[in-house]
């Protein structure tokens, strides 16, 4: 069956829909402002707001991949009487592309229903009944075919209100503890795909110093300097799916059939979305609104921080209305000349953001190449096809990757829009002999030739055990450091597994510090890894003060405020409303 690409209504329709929806769904939720509210319109519709997306090989079940799509940002645990929840009349979807032809190969769709079991009380839980009790239907479409139901009556655990509501056998639900409710809510899908599914509340696994980041980049490098995890003790709602690799792989092959740990046939692209009916009519008698009309996408997420920190505010709502298959090519300019680059360049506005003083872009890399905004980067090699035999060959991808006046088309654009191929020059400088365009040590291959924002994962890359001493929240950045400096990995240019090759931006693990990684990438860390060293490099050791400054940069918040579970769904139990953990 041929693929079908979902038709997205005009931007004006999206705007009208979001305005009609207003701030809340028919059942109000208590939330706070957050970094997840990426666009003006979706900030007013938290129940449909994608917050984060994760995709990683399951650490305890390595023949599977776990995908988590989180929604409803920064919920206060003690947010009664109307607690946060998934919304009704919203299509929550997780999309998988696996063959490089634009369009979903697998789509998972979730719709939720709420039942008021006892309308006589203002309590959310009383005498074994819930208000509102939430269930869901999960459906699956393959290659654009019809949706088939794979979970008919999935159970969403109630909010973690407190011990009387959850565990008291007389007045509450009588559960052993909240984790027992989570475990009993995990469903095994029908239909032969082998999926395991959890939908429900969880601790928000994202971590960042919101107060510093959004005060014009004034990050604080440590807790003693005032850095605070702005998402600490906040909950989200997650849709978690654990899927056999053979179900996701384009030819139905298990990971054991991969030819090597960077096998291109095992790359998938993942993105998530939320859609609402185009028209909402409000009741004049307090009843539920009437939703009708075509479904309109109002939120999406692929790579973290794309809409938040790369797309400018005037384009954010339009970006949310598009799909990775219908991107506006004009928006590529925001990756090729990123706004953040302005604050990492002392000749522009770098001196105005002292907290980012360690993040400096190569303006004279190898005394030849200028990657400052609006300069040419590697563009000069295009005239002579100096990248012949590499990914920069004008007969391959050179015409896309080499753009005059758009220097980051060679690194940031492919990281976000295509993935990175296992081709020169996108190999570690190890083995290159000082020529950044030569073949080097392979370290990544998550290239998928669909030109759009998706979280790309090579499922063939082995898992770094969480107890490995080399495990790092810096993901691929740390893999590069090990591959360049550690004798166990830098003695030759042969392909071998380097710890954290399974980390962001090759997928995204719960532990990955994506804010730090992306800021380091904007500052040119990926360029340096492949041999385009920082300006203070002359000869010999490339580990220069400039490079060390970038690698040592931190926002001051480098890990989640709690642990992660060792087994599915991996996200931690949501914070309890009764417990005394409210931030002051």
The DSSP element (H or E) to which 415 belongs, if any, is helix 412-417
Cis peptide bond N-terminal to 334, omega within 30: no
Taking Cα atoms as reference points, which of 256, 230, 118 lies closest to residue 561? 230
Asked if 248 and 63 touch (Cβ cutoff 8 Å), the reply is no
Q: What is the pLDDT of residue 203?
A: 98
Angle separating helix axes 514-522 and 475-485, nearest 10 degrees = 60
Taking Cα atoms as reference points, which of 521, 512, 549 lies closest to residue 310? 521
Q: What is the pLDDT of residue 489?
A: 97
Provide the CB-side half-sphere exposure for 457 (13 A, CA).
Answer: 32
Neighbouring C-beta atoms of residue 188, cutoff 10 Å: 10
- Cα–Cα distance between 237 and 46 in angstroms, integer? 11
Spell out the residues 6+ positions from residue 40 whose beta carbon is closer than 8 angstroms to its own. 313, 316, 317
- Cα–Cα distance between 487 and 393 in angstroms, integer? 32
Given the structure tokens 């701030």, which residue do they identify?
23
Write out the two tokens for 541. Answer: 């050791």
User: Has this prediction a pTM greater than 0.95?
Assistant: no
- Cα–Cα distance between 557 and 227 in angstroms, integer? 7
Asked if 390 and 424 touch (Cβ cutoff 8 Å), the reply is yes
Q: What is the pLDDT of residue 224?
A: 85
Q: What is the pLDDT of residue 223?
A: 84
pLDDT means per 10 residues in the chain (584 residues)? 37 36 37 54 89 98 98 92 94 98 97 96 96 97 97 98 97 98 98 98 95 89 89 96 98 98 98 96 91 96 93 93 97 97 95 94 96 98 97 97 98 98 98 96 97 98 98 98 96 97 98 97 97 92 93 95 97 94 50
Q: CA angle 332-300-16, nearest 5°?
A: 100
What is the residue-wise DSSP string for 316-356?
A: HHHHHH--TTS--GGGGHHHHS-HHHHTT-TTTTGGG-GGG
- Cα–Cα distance between 414 and 246 in angstroms, integer? 26
Q: What is the pLDDT of residue 37?
A: 66
| Dihedral sign for Cα atoms in the order 546, 547, 552, 556 | positive
Length of the chain: 584
Spell out the residues 6+ positions from residue 451 whose beta carbon is closer than 8 angstroms to its own. 327, 417, 418
Q: Determine the longest span between alpha carbons in the chain, in angstroms.
A: 80
Write out the two tokens for 570. Answer: 């991996």
């Amino acid at each position: 069956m041929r693929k079908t690409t979902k038709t997205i209504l005009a931007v004006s329709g999206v705007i009208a829909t979001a305005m009609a929806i207003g701030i809340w769904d028919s059942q109000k939720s208590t939330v706070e402002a957050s970094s997840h509210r990426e666009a003006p319109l979706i900030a007013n519709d938290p129940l449909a707001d994608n917050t984060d997306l994760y995709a990683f090989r399951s650490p305890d079940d390595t023949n599977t991949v776990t995908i988590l799509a989180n929604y409803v940002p920064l919920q206060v645990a003690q947010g009664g009487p109307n607690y946060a929840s998934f919304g009704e009349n919203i299509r929550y979807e997780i999309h998988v592309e696996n063959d490089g032809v634009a369009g979903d190969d697998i789509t998972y769709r979730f719709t939720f229903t709420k039942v008021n079991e006892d309308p006589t009380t203002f309590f959310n839980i009383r005498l074994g009944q819930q208000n509102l009790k939430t269930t869901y239907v999960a459906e699956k479409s393959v290659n654009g075919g019809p949706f088939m139901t794979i979970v008919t009556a999935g159970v969403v655990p109630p909010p973690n209100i407190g011990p009387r509501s959850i565990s008291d056998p007389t007045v509450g639900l009588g559960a052993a503890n909240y984790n027992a409710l989570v475990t009993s809510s995990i469903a095994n899908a029908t239909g032969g795909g082998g999926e395991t599914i959890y939908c429900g509340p969880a601790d928000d696994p994202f971590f960042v110093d919101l107060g510093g980041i959004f005060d014009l980049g004034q990050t604080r490098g440590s807790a003693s300097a005032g850095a605070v995890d702005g998402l600490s003790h906040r909950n989200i709602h997650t849709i978690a799916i654990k899927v056999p690799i053979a179900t996701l792989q384009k030819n139905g092959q298990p990971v054991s059939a991969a030819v090597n740990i960077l096998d291109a046939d095992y790359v998938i692209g993942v993105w998530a979305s939320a859609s609402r009916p185009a028209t909402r009519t409000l009741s004049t008698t307090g009843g539920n609104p009437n939703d009708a009309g075509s479904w309109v996408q109002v939120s999406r997420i692929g790579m973290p921080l794309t809409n938040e920190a790369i797309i400018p505010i005037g384009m954010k709502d339009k970006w949310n209305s598009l799909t990775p298959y219908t991107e506006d090519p004009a928006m590529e300019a925001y990756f090729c000349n990123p706004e953040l680059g302005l604050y990492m360049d002392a000749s522009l506005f770098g001196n105005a953001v002292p907290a980012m003083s360690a993040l400096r872009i190569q303006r004279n890399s190898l005394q030849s190449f200028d990657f400052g905004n609006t300069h040419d980067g590697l563009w000069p090699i295009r005239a002579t096809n100096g990248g012949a035999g590499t990914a920069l060959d004008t007969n391959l991808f050179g015409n896309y990757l080499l753009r005059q006046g758009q220097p980051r088309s060679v690194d940031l654009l492919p990281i976000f829009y295509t993935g990175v191929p296992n081709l020169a020059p996108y190999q570690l400088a190890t083995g290159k002999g000082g020529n950044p365009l030569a073949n080097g040590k392979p370290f990544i291959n998550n290239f998928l030739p669909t030109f759009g924002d998706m979280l790309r994962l090579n499922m063939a890359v082995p898992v770094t055990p969480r107890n490995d001493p080399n495990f790092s929240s810096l993901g691929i950045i740390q893999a590069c450091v090990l591959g360049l400096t550690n004798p166990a990995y830098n003695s030759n240019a042969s392909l071998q597994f380097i710890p954290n090759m399974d980390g962001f931006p090759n997928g995204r693990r719960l532990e990955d510090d994506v804010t730090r990684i992306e800021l380091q990438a904007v500052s040119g860390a990926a360029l340096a890894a492949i041999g385009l060293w920082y300006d203070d490099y002359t000869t010999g050791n490339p580990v220069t003060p400039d490079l060390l400054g970038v690698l040592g940069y931190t926002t001051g918040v480098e890990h989640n405020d709690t642990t992660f579970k060792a087994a599915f769904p991996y996200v931690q139990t949501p914070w309890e409303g009764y417990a005394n953990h409210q931030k002051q």
